[in-house]
Amino acid sequence: NAGVTQTPKFRVLKTGQSMTLLCAQDMNHEYMYWYRQDPGMGLRLIHYSVGEGTTAKGEVPDGYNVSRLKKQNFLLGLESAAPSQTSVYFCASSKSHRGNTEAFFGQGTRLTVV
Give the one residue of 20, 97, 112, 114 binding another protein; rule: CB under 8 A: 97
Asked whether the bond before 39 is cis by omega within 30 degrees of 0, the reply is no
Residue 22 is a binding residue for another protein (CB under 8 A): no
Cα separation of 48 and 114, whole Å? 27
Cα separation of 25 and 48, whole Å? 14
Cα separation of 34 and 75, whole Å? 9
Closer CB to another protein, 7 or 15, in the complex: 7
Give the one residue of 28, 40, 62, 69 binding another protein; rule: CB under 8 A: 40
Residue 34 is a binding residue for another protein (CB under 8 A): no
Residue 28 is a binding residue for another protein (CB under 8 A): no
Residues 60-89 that bind another protein (CB under 8 A): none
Residues that bind another protein (CB under 8 A): 4, 31, 33, 35, 40-45, 48, 58-59, 90, 92, 94, 96-108
